[in-house]
Structure 1
Amino acid sequence: MSREVPCIMYHTVGIPKPDWVWSFLTMPFETFDHEMRVLKKCGYRTLSSAEFLECHRTGEFPDKAVYLTFDDGYLDNWVFAAPILEKYGFCGTIFVNPDFVDPSMGLRPRYDERPVDELELYGFLNWDEMREMERRGCMEIQSHAMTHTWYFSSPEIVDFHHPGDDYVWMDWNDRPEKKYGYLGADAYRGNWGAPVYAHRKSLSGPVYTPDPSVREGLIAFAAEQGEGFFDRADWREALGGKADELQATAGEGRLETDAEYLERVRWELTESKRVLERELGKSVDVFCWPGGGYSDEAEAIAASLYKGVTVGSAKRDQGGWDEHGSFKIARIGAQSLFFEDGSIIYPGGWYTCLFLREYQGDGVARFIRQVYKAALLLKKKMAR
């Protein structure tokens, strides 16, 4: 069997938020508790980032070790995940974007301290909560770059910003100082009618900056149409026609040069490291690509700054040490099943344990997991 230590990727652990476009990322806290309980029962231990890198450097792997990672720095990592990890003597690693850190101070109540209906559930960690998790040893903090957003990549208009869309990152870019609050009751959504140009993850390529007159004209046009404009069947056609008119007289947009793009990448990677180290009083040595988006050139920059860097799912088989002496960390997603109706379930601990055994080359575990998966799918189908 393989001696590689599996690295599992989680995001939020708590109570799914039905109106959140990425609610599928939330593992119910009861399921997470069951998963950790089963891992403990099966003899697994968790590794810190330093331990994970060290065992791959030396080739000396602890038996049944696993590296648990959590992306983005959600508040529920403190409210639910941290106390569950503490309960089983485990630790995890949270990849944090300083842009999203909540400016509040003090420790918000956790689920082991208050009834769930009295808790603040949705949002992002503040510095005090991160420091306390580091002090307790149940979570450590590493870098996820600064912005974790999307940027325009070409002059092609692919849509228009409208109520109910999933272009929440356009609101982040309009008001970056309010990004931490986008899951809250006072979240900002607006500038309806703005053009949505072809776009990509922030660190994966050069940014295209269009002539702002097109955006301004389209926002004004949408506002002039009145409150029910986006209920009309032809609202996209109306905005498309206005966009053609505005673009006919607009100036040319501008694409970042390759040098400017790489300078921006270097700033994001160095600044996030600097801010995290300043606020937490520790060395930040591991980096996770926000959204898994990067280029070969960006990857080389990250490898020169960090001892460990994640790789995207398409490069999962390319983990290992690189020429810079940085370890490429291949991760596997928290085990879940998506169904044709768009629903998702997290099967829980035994399923995850079987997957970990399969991941390390256990053919029997693979057969059992496939039977288990088929049974779950059949149960879902029969319940329709």
Structure 2
Amino acid sequence: MTRVGIRRWTCVACAGVCAGWITHNAAGDTRGSDGPSEAPARYSAAADASLVIRSVENAALLYNRYWLMWDEAQIGELQVDFAISDPAWRPNEQASAWLRESTEIAGLLRATRLERADFGVERELGFEIMLPHLRSLRSTARLFIADTRRLEHEGDHDAAAERIAATFRLAHHLSEVESTLLIETLVGVAIFALASAEVERMSEANALTPEARDLLMAELDRFPASDPLNLQAAFIRENAFCLAECHRLFGQAAEDAQSLQILAEMSEHAQQPYAMLARMNAQERQDDLAKLARYYEAAEAVLARPDADRGAAMEDLVEAGAFGQLARILSASVDQIARGIERSSEVAASAHEALRRVADQPAEGDAATGRTRPALPPR
């Protein structure tokens, strides 16, 4: 996150060709009757979202496989009319038909249940790192929420809750890897917020069965109550990443000054500090790198005990050049990170409380008896 937002990482869209997919279509069976009769649909493992996968350990392999099956233009067109922030919205018939028949959605749901997701990010590329999976993960989350609305409208509330649970699992896959960068964690925060909002929406509508409530509570409880997506840890990791990459770039610049050009491309405000770095000699650049390290140390101290005034003061010091030119390019907004931690913690608490309220309400159809759902323990 730069002065005006998250720094721009290079992101290249996934491309590939799916070799093919076998689909099974049920046909009418007229045996033993005088005319055609409707036969039950034949079971298809590919369409079974509940199938447990044990032959693959890395969820990213499955995610990428099913993303390769997507028609990107169609996926984009489907999402144009998505209004997920509107509690009353549900997908139109075209989107509903795709969601209902999609083998990809079933496969992606299976992928979320695997514990580990390593997307094979080439972190050695430094500031040229490519993160094409982030866009696809966000699209997947939005499609899961759209499918939640479809299934709820069709009366299958447990399946709707499973889509919300899968959205939580998507977010978890972006928070558990020890080398996760800040931008990856921030996408996880956004996905987590989508799932949490759906928990509240369905809870308020009294649309969760006891089984669905327990499922969602179990998924929510996998995240810490405070800083559920581990933003602070991601911030610290990214600081170390940036310091190491700048050290490498400065070493290369001794042989090729053009190596520093990547810094000019980090944000729209990077040109001036980059120009100043380009004019420095080797020792001056090392001094500037030491100033960046001091900024990160101070920023981590502020984040450990968030304070809006201290955060704003650091913003002003960075802008004035007190922490050097690299800090003007690479510094994340401590205040924004602190607000992100606070907001995601509040979102988690609100979703948890919504599920607790469901536990205290009479179960559907039992209002006359006053029987309540099993109580949830305090978190």
What TM-score range do you get, normalising by the shorter chain? under 0.3
- Which is richer in strand? 1
Q: TM-score, normalised by structure 1?
A: 0.25
**Structure with max Cα Rg:** 2
